[in-house]
A and B are shown apart, each in its own frame.
Chain A
Amino acid sequence: MDEYQARRLVNTYADMILRISYQYLKQTCDAEDICQTVFLKYLTHNMSFDSVEHEKAWIIRTTINACKDHVKSSYFRRTVALDDAAEIAAPAIPDTWLLDAMKTLPEKYRLSLYLYYYEEYSAGEIGEVMGVSENAVTQYLSRGRRKLRALITDEERRMAL
């Protein structure tokens, strides 16, 4: 891998990996580790990509797997002292209502909503990268939207008071 390719990978995908890992982990302090894991897998992977979309789908799928592995190993991370943890640099999480609201949704809803509304994938494509059926994704999106609507209503009630 040369510098050109390393920069292309990082500039093209690092922010997307951060956003996906945030959907899974609800924090950003491990996002750099996730990025590194994904890029290292890319470095050693043995598949050829038919297109940019194919490559992107592979990155998304690998990010999801890396997040799942990370969650599984989270027991070990609990041993990090709080003082040390406070010094870990992490991308700032924007203070928006939507991100707060999404935190309350199950991870599969959060990820589906992100891929649908931000990455503009179809339900079928989301199903492929998440390893679930298109119908399941449609349900996640529908239920996720319904829950967000309920939260919007609550928030607006609070704001009106």
Chain B
Amino acid sequence: MKRNLKSEMKQSMDALRFSEEEKEAMVYDLLEAAEKTGRPSGKKFVVIALAACLVLTMLTGAAVYTRWSTTAQTSYNPSQNIKEQAEKSGLSVMLGETKGESDSGQVLSATDQGITITAVQSIVDNYQAQLTFRIEGFDLPEGKDPEVWPIVTIDGQRGFYGSQTGGCFDGTTRNKAGEWVYASNGQPVQFGDDEFQSAILDWVADDGSLEYTHYISFRETDGRYMGKEIAVTFHSIGVQSDKKAGMPEPQIEGNWELKWTLTGTGDNISTTLNEKIGDSDVILLDAEIGQLSLRTRYQLKDYWEGWDELVEFPQAVCGVRMKDGSEHRCMSTTTGFEDQEKMIYFVQSSMLDAILDLSQVESLMFHKGWEKDANGKNIHTFYYIPVPGAQ
């Protein structure tokens, strides 16, 4: 009798699985844990969180300031003042409006296979870049999620990033109550009746286009990439696989190469702090706070083993408090030991729901714990370290 190890392995392993009830319990536990930690994460999260805004404000705001990409508008809900600041400082550039200006070699729109991809907006500071593109002419198959992933080079090199992620705007956001709703009408997101009860997302804009945003956390944060040519090349437009952990499935292959001179702002608050964080042994050494993102450095007492398992650094900055008392959360994008012998750890973070007015920054926020309010609801509490460089 001849054995086929592969088919026997498949047969045996296919039968080893959780029941649907056990999986349902896991989903429940995971959502409960997410609520307690208040620390969403993951690729999807980046797309969703950066799309998060207060929908009511967005609906009114969008009517007045329609120039910004839907992703940036929905993510940050910027006031007119912030928009003016961002454009004046060079943080935000509406790329379509730079046509014909000094950068004669730029290509901001490309068409292939009947699909046109256009660079819409860049938001760039010393630590991070957000590049938004409009994709026209692609018919997203019903019930499928789009999958787009470009190859990016700066000055012809690929080693410019600490991390990259990206995703299409899925038409959803959070309302004031934190509920997941459609950005277009504020109605709760609906779930399908398929096996996974997947959310029904609103990927396609009214004009039939998709909006893709690519997020880059820079490897070096001294602004050295600005003034260099950035090339963003798309080789396919596809859909996400329905198979478990399957690879994306390209639907249309082609070549869409866009390039322009990367510009942004180096404006930041740079301050030395040397402040102990709460009751930990960790010392916040210094911080560079930009309008979009920030970089903080920490002195650790002992080697932090969580790094090996890619667990989030518990003392990482998690937000910025402004002088008016408003608080804006941020999320780590790139972390690591800057100097392992000296136990100096760094964290680069991206603001989730705001572009900062640097003149209004008051302090940095660090996770402290959870407390119950009068209604028994969990309230996230923080340690605050004042930023002396704030004006």
Contact = CB atoms under 8 A, between A and B. Distances in A.
Given A6-B27, A41-B311, A96-B8, 6 more contacts: A1-B30, A3-B191, A39-B33, A44-B39, A49-B42, A94-B16
B43 A44 contact: no
A18 interface: yes
29 contacts: A2-B48, A4-B189, A15-B16, A19-B13, A35-B26, A36-B26, A39-B26, A40-B30, A40-B37, A43-B40, A45-B310, A45-B311, A46-B310, A46-B312, A46-B347, A48-B46, A48-B163, A55-B42, A55-B43, A56-B245, A62-B310, A65-B309, A91-B17, A97-B8, A114-B9, A117-B5, A118-B10, A152-B3, A156-B1
A118 B235 CA distance: 30
Interface of B: 1, 3, 5-6, 8-13, 15-19, 22-23, 25-27, 29-31, 33-34, 37, 39-46, 48, 149, 163-165, 180, 189, 191, 195-199, 215, 217, 240-241, 244-248, 309-313, 316, 331-333, 335, 347
Interface string A43-71: 11111111111011010001001000000
A4 B149 contact: no
B335 to A, nearest CB: 5
Contact of A22 (B16, B46, B165, B335): B16
B164 A45 contact: no
A19 B15 CA distance: 10
A98 to B, nearest CB: 5
Contacts of B311: 41, 44-46
B6 A117 contact: yes
Given A7-B197, A35-B26, A52-B241, A43 B17 contact: no
Contacts of A52: 240-241, 245-248
B151 to A, nearest CB: 11
Given A7-B27, A152-B3, A44 B16 contact: no
A10 interface: yes
Of residues A3, A39, A113, A156, which shows the largest number of chain B Cβ atoms within 10 Å of its Cβ?
A3
Interface in A76-128: 89, 91, 93-94, 96-99, 113-114, 117-118
A138 to B, nearest CB: 16
Contacts of A22: 16
Contacts of A55: 42-43, 245
A148 B22 CA distance: 32
A98 B9 contact: yes
A44 B42 contact: no
Given A46-B335, A99-B12, A156-B1, A11 B41 contact: no
Nearest to B179: A2
A6 B34 contact: yes
A68 B111 CA distance: 51
Nearest to A58: B310
A119 B271 CA distance: 49
B196 A11 contact: yes
Contacts of A13: 245
B41 to A, nearest CB: 6
Contacts of B26: 10, 14, 32, 35-36, 39
B216 to A, nearest CB: 10
Contacts of A117: 5-6, 9-10
A5 interface: yes
Nearest to A9: B30
